[in-house]
Amino acid sequence: MHQPSEMANLMNGMYAYNLQIKQQIMNGEIPASMPLDLMKLHSAEMSNSHARTPVWNSFVNVFIESQQAVTDTLSNVELKERYNATINNCLACHKTECTGPIPKIRKLLIQ
Ligand code: HEC
């Protein structure tokens, strides 16, 4: 059996968290804070076919900042807009770095 990489586990945790806060945002609730350490994106080991390419490097910090902005209570940007911006940053990196989960990630967007 193929063991999921440390990065795959982190990504699945990010997926589960965003699915949870999508529901909270749609219910008009305050989204839970991120339980994962996103700085691990810089160090987690990836499966063989993946690496920290220039594209990865160009997207990772933009993504982390947008994910953190979702729970920034002082922001004056609409919550749904901040949330969807985060998901679009997931998709931006996935477009070249890991295309398989794109349909699943797209379902996280709030219509
Ligand atoms: C900076 C680039 C980047 C960003 C941003 C990113 N991903 Fe990923 N994602 C990857 C790469 C590369 C992999 C493959 C990792 C591996 O196989 O080790 C991956 C893997 C995954 C997987 C598959 C895990 C598995 O079981 O194999 C899912 C699901 C996923 N990402 C969801 C997300 C979600 C949801 C977000 C946003 C909250 C996100 N990703 C943000 C690059 C990114």
Low-confidence ranges of the chain (pLDDT < 50): none
| pLDDT given for residue 86 in this prediction | 98
**Cα separation of 55 and 32, whole Å?**
29
| pLDDT given for residue 2 in this prediction | 73
Written as one letter, the residue type at 80 is: K
From 10, 11, 12, give the residue whose CB has the most ligand 1 atoms within 8 Å, as the site to mutate.
11
Q: Name the DSSP letter for residue 107.
A: T
Written as one letter, the residue type at 31 is: P
| pLDDT given for residue 105 in this prediction | 98
Q: How far is the CA of 11 from the centre of ligand 1 (A)?
A: 5
Q: How far is the CA of 75 from the centre of ligand 1 (A)?
A: 26
Q: How far is the CA of 30 from the centre of ligand 1 (A)?
A: 25
| pLDDT given for residue 1 in this prediction | 58
Number of C-beta neighbours around residue 99 at 10 A: 9
pTM of the model: 0.97
Q: Is the CB of 7 under 6 A from ligand 1?
A: yes
Asked if 70 and 78 touch (Cβ cutoff 8 Å), the reply is: no
pLDDT tens for residues 28-56?
Answer: 999 999 999 999 999 999 998 899 999 99
